[in-house]
Structure 1
Amino acid sequence: MRVDKLSFIFSEQVNNLYKNEIEKNYLIGTVYYNKKLICYLDSIFDEKEHRFYGIVEDGNLLAVIHCKETKSFLHINNIVVRNEYQGNGYGRLLMSFIIKKSQEKNIDISLDVDAKNIRAVSWYKDLGFKVVENNHIKVFNFEGGYESNIKIYDRHCYNKFGFSNASVNDIDFFLIEPNVFKYKGQSVLNLQDLYTFKEYINGFLVVDSSFLDDDVDLSFFYEKLVFRMVKNVA
């Protein structure tokens, strides 16, 4: 089995892999959550910095790894293996391919992983990755907001790709369709701030816990601890 560089003709299969194999709640707050993901994938497939490599059999995509590569680093955005093919070494084959590329270019590799995915964390450690940072994310589900004070900065991008920078009451967010607001962290939010957002947001509010005041005891929909892991090659 070999690893091939994928062209845009595989974007729909990549899209389906992401939707079927990655835990949906984990994606809240990322561009991979929105309904127009296929449009975004189509737009980046042939970009210089983005690389998609996969294992293909009879035209069917069995596994994929998506990287963002520059002259100074290589970041793995996603690595996904179809459920029925897991345990056959496809993930290790993709990772070995990427590690070899990074060694040839003498650049380090980084990735983010859900800390609850103990198996994946252990696997990455076995491959030489180390945890260098962690982010505790909370997702609040606000229903019934009026959305009267929401300003979308790039309407074209939002309509085409499903995401844009936006603001609510002059507070900056990353807005992801349908109605996911990722707080950009200008200042620490207190409980009153969240109640104010509830008046305007009808959907999910995603906040890094480091930007939540100690008095915030509001119940949340979902939380995740994300490890940033790095393999030093350079």
Structure 2
Amino acid sequence: MQAAQHLGAYVDYAKTDDNIIIFELLNNTFEKMFAFLPSKEQVDSLITEKKILVCYCSGKIAGLIHMDICKNISWIRQIVVMKEYRGRGIGGILLNRYLAISKDYVNEFMLWVDLSNIAAIDMYKKAGYIFDGRMANEYINKVGKIQKGD
């Protein structure tokens, strides 16, 4: 299995042409009842508002992160890697890029995670997220001021 760097992986904001693929990827990955998934129209708006980062490998979408910012708090709404790219570091690349571009104007990073998703939890811990204990079995977060230049 090739690591992400050998796949020509790079992260950029989603493009308008990616909207259908993003919509389908989100809806085919997450439970509609619990994930608060965006409609096709909302995906278009999220792309325009630069709230979706995409990791491209060889010109194809390998994964994405849907983020939101409110009052200096950034939430990861969804992060997903296509099945054929899992285990290659794509999620970590997306997460690190998201943290790098947000750190100058965000004081707190939060997310929800299913505690049975051990691979995701390990990735979040490596990025500095900590379990906050407020909602057992549901989310972990990274709290505290982010030093500029980290």
Q: Same fold (TM over 0.5)?
A: yes
Q: Deviations over 1:130-185 (max 9, x none)?
A: 1124447xxxxxxxxxxxxxxxxxxxxxxxxxxxxxxxxxxxxxxxxxxxxxxxxx
Measure, in 1, the Cα distance between the counterparts of 2:85 and 2:143.
26
2:62 corresponding residue in structure 1 = 62
Measure, in 1, the Cα distance between the counterparts of 2:134 and 2:26.
23
Structure with max Cα Rg: 1
- C-alpha change, 1:11 and 1:231, in structure 2 (3 Å) is farther
Q: Deviations over 1:104-130 (max 9, x none)?
A: 335221111011212322321222101
Q: Of 43, 46, 49, which aligns to 1:44?
A: 46
Q: Would you tell me which structure has more helix in proportion to its own residues? A: 2
TM-score, normalised relative to structure 1: 0.52
2:6 corresponding residue in structure 1 = none
**1:3 Cα deviation from its structure 2 partner:** 0.8
**1:227 Cα deviation from its structure 2 partner:** 1.4
Q: Is the Cα–Cα contact under 8 Å of residues 92 and 123 in structure 2 kept in the other structure?
A: no
Q: Is the Cα–Cα contact under 8 Å of residues 129 and 140 in structure 2 kept in the other structure?
A: no
Measure, in 2, the Cα distance between the counterparts of 1:69 and 1:16.
23
Specify the SS of the correspondent of 1:3.
strand
Specify the SS of the correspondent of 2:87.
coil
- C-alpha change, 1:90 and 1:31, in structure 2 (3 Å) is same
Runs of 5+ in structure 2 lacking a partner?
1-8
- C-alpha change, 1:30 and 1:19, in structure 2 (3 Å) is closer
**1:66 Cα deviation from its structure 2 partner:** 1.0
Return the structure number with greater relative CO, CA threshold 8 A, min gap 6: 1
- C-alpha change, 1:58 and 1:118, in structure 2 (3 Å) is closer
TM-score, normalised relative to structure 2: 0.77
Measure, in 2, the Cα distance between the counterparts of 1:60 and 1:86.
14
Q: Is the Cα–Cα contact under 8 Å of residues 21 and 83 in structure 1 kept in the other structure?
A: no
2:122 corresponding residue in structure 1 = 122
2:33 corresponding residue in structure 1 = 28
- C-alpha change, 1:104 and 1:114, in structure 2 (3 Å) is same
Measure, in 1, the Cα distance between the counterparts of 2:128 and 2:34.
28
Taking only aligned residues, the RMSD between alpha carbons, in angstroms, comes to 2.3
Summarize the alignment of residues 128-139 of structure 1 with structure 2, pairs less than 5 Å apart.
Answer: 128-135=128-135
Summarize the alignment of residues 139-158 of structure 1 with structure 2, pairs less than 5 Å apart.
Answer: none
1:89 corresponding residue in structure 2 = 89
Measure, in 1, the Cα distance between the counterparts of 2:130 and 2:138.
13
- C-alpha change, 1:102 and 1:42, in structure 2 (3 Å) is closer
Q: Of 138, 141, 144, which aligns to 1:226?
A: 138
Q: Would you tell me which structure has more strand in proportion to its own residues? A: 1
**1:54 Cα deviation from its structure 2 partner:** 0.7
**1:44 Cα deviation from its structure 2 partner:** 3.1
- What is the count of residue pairs matched by the alignment? 138
Runs of 5+ in structure 1 lacking a partner?
137-224
Q: Percent identity?
A: 22
Q: Of 3, 7, 19, which aligns to 1:11?
A: 19
